[in-house]
């Protein structure tokens, strides 16, 4: 049976977590240790109480999450935080989390996966954040209404702000809370940008800069990388794997 330390070593190197600066206290890598052996892997966007309960229900003892247990300031181990830690310890479940390095990865990252699904060619890294390029800029000659239809077939909910050209060639992809991409779209030459979520003022940025922007959901744009990575770990170490979906509409 594979050991946790072997999986962690492989994951740290594969995702190059030491090279990409992340949000304060994101703690990419092993966040919660178990007794050492791994018999089944679960993967999910969030290491939430719902997901931890789901991992236990399918007898997984390693949870790989895009959004891990730790963010920002230290909080007391009480209430829901206590419930999560107690469940993890009682059921011997480890948690491995990878945030921006998984967004940015050029093979199994969220943005690389979306670019492949959309059929973008000549993809390059673009859209700087925390000193790293974490998005993708690719090419696909497509009409605006066709791109909208393609996105609606790919994501559960799509909100379009169509202020750019009708004929599109260069498309930016940046998952999650990625409204900042709209401030960089003009500089990188993107005719359209596919993002996870944005704030109200990004409407004005898109309109004033003549950008086609498509908001496809923070959660919905971030299922791809963690699922791809979970499958890769499963295949490399010959461990059963399941992806845990939630009904998050955001």
Question: What is the overall mean pLDDT for the chain?
Answer: 94
Give the CATH number of domain 4-98; options: 3.10.129.10, 3.60.110.10, 3.40.1390.30, 3.40.50.300.
Answer: 3.40.1390.30
Report the pLDDT averaged over residues 128-134: 87
pLDDT of residue 26: 82
Higher confidence at residue 162 or residue 23? 162
Element (H, E) at 133: strand 132-143
Domain covering 103-221 in this structure, CATH number: 3.40.1390.30
Bridge pairing between strands 167-177 and 132-143: antiparallel
Kindly report, residue by residue over 56-100, the tens digit of the pLDDT: 999 999 999 999 998 877 788 889 988 999 999 999 999 999 999
Give phi and psi for 28, each to the nearest 5: -65, 140
Q: Where are the domains of the chain?
A: 4-98, 103-221
Kindly report, residue by residue over 220-232, the tens digit of the pLDDT: 999 999 999 999 9
């Amino acid at each position: 049976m594979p050991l946790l330390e072997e999986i962690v070593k492989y994951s740290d190197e594969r995702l190059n977590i030491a090279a990409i600066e992340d949000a304060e206290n994101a703690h990419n890598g092993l966040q919660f240790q178990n007794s050492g052996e791994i018999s089944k892997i679960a993967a999910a966007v969030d290491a939430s109480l719902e997901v931890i309960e789901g991992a236990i229900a399918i007898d997984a003892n390693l949870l790989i999450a895009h959004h891990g247990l730790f963010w920002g300031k230290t909080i007391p181990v009480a209430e829901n935080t206590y419930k999560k830690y107690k469940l993890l310890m009682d059921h011997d479940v480890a948690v491995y989390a990878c945030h921006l390095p998984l967004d940015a990865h050029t093979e199994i990252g969220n943005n690389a996966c979306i670019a492949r699904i959309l059929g973008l060619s000549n993809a390059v890294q673009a859209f700087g954040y925390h000193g790293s390029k974490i998005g993708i800029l690719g090419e696909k000659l497509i009409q605006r209404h066709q791109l909208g239809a393609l996105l609606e077939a790919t994501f559960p909910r799509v909100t379009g702000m169509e202020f750019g050209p009708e004929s599109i060639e260069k498309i930016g992809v940046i998952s999650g809370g990625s409204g900042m991409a709209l401030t960089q779209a003009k500089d990188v030459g993107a005719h359209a940008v596919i993002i996870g979520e944005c704030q109200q003022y990004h409407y004005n940025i898109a309109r004033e800069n003549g950008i086609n922007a498509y908001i496809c959901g923070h959660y919905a744009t971030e299922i791809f990388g963690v699922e791809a990575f979970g499958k890769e770990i499963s295949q490399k170490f010959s461990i059963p794997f399941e992806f845990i979906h939630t009904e998050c509409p955001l």
